[in-house]
Structure 1
Amino acid sequence: MTAPIPTVLFVCVHNAGRSQMAAGYVQHLAAGRVDVRSAGSEPKDSINPVAVVAMAEVGIDITTGAPKLLTVDAVQQADVVITMGCGDACPIFPGKRYEDWELDDPAGQGIEAVRAIRDDIRARVVALLSELTSA
């Protein structure tokens, strides 16, 4: 019997930068071993173009995603909820694993700053995936 695939939900305010980059890394690195979603408490109309460029530099296309509104259902369906600066906007449910990743917001930042945020996210995603997929 195979273990169920864990679901990770990345949440930030605008769902346009940090959470999109994190979801892109999970999709790229987990190779189907983890289901990933992202959402925002106040989603923007489109993904941050500098985040798109930064991810393209490492061979990951995040242009197929779109900012989505955080819903209670999305949180209930997730096994792990990673927040990135959304404060109290994320509902808390017993039995869920929550982590808050302190990351700078890439909104309004230049490519150099966004690259540093991207690389920080990658390191955190790699560590998370090693925990979730080692069983």
Structure 2
Amino acid sequence: MPTTPEVLFVCVHNAGRSQMAAGLLHHHAQGRVTVRSAGSAPADTINPAVLEVMNELGLDLSQEFPKKLTTDAVEAADVVITMGCGDACPVFPGKRYLDWELTDPAGKSIEDVRPIRDDIDRRVRALLAELVPEAAK
């Protein structure tokens, strides 16, 4: 029986991009992928504009919170996706690393965060189709 792939999304504050990516992948994967997110320097709370644009899709992130990036989280992941955390993410042999260049939603309006969310959603759907081909059908 194949194991469930694990994806870790990492950004600096774990308050915007990585939270949106984790929420979207969790939603689309419906249990077929283990999803985590973390930050190299986590913020205190999730960006309110991020909460709002995710609510627009019916995804409630209000119970989520920024988490500190740990070596264990990286070791457990099959795919590590960084979003502007630079060299803060530890690198382990045998892991697949992707760097998604995305605008940081910090300080942006809801109108400015929506296109970032939509860009992340497209990337997440493509990643899911690659990790779990039957999910794309």
TM-score of the superposed pair, with normalisation by structure 1: 0.98
> Aligned partners of 1:111, 1:64: CA distance in 2, in Å?
20
Per the alignment, residue 102 of structure 1 pairs with: 101
Residue 61 (structure 2) pairs with residue 62 (structure 1):
yes
Residue 19 (structure 2) pairs with residue 16 (structure 1):
no
Alignment deviations for residues 50-85 of structure 1 (CA, whole Å, 9 cap, x no partner):
000000001111112110000000000000000000
The sequence identity of aligned pairs, in percent, is 66
> Aligned partners of 2:63, 2:128: CA distance in 1, in Å?
22
> Residue 4 of structure 2: SS of its match in structure 1?
coil
> Aligned partners of 1:108, 1:23: CA distance in 2, in Å?
20
Per the alignment, residue 42 of structure 1 pairs with: 41
Gaps of 5+ in 1: none
Aligned Cα root-mean-square deviation (Å): 0.7
Per the alignment, residue 84 of structure 1 pairs with: 83
Q: CA deviation at 1:42?
A: 0.4
> Aligned partners of 2:4, 2:67: CA distance in 1, in Å?
22
TM-score of the superposed pair, with normalisation by structure 2: 0.96
Per the alignment, residue 51 of structure 2 pairs with: 52
Once structures 1 and 2 are overlaid, which stretch shifts more, 46-55 or 59-68? 59-68
Which amino acid counterpart does residue 84 of structure 1 have in structure 2? M
Gaps of 5+ in 2: none
> Aligned partners of 2:110, 2:64: CA distance in 1, in Å?
20
Per the alignment, residue 123 of structure 2 pairs with: 124
Runs of 4+ in 1 over 4 A off after TM superposition: none
> Residue 82 of structure 2: SS of its match in structure 1?
strand
Aligned residue pair count? 134
Residue 117 (structure 2) pairs with residue 133 (structure 1):
no
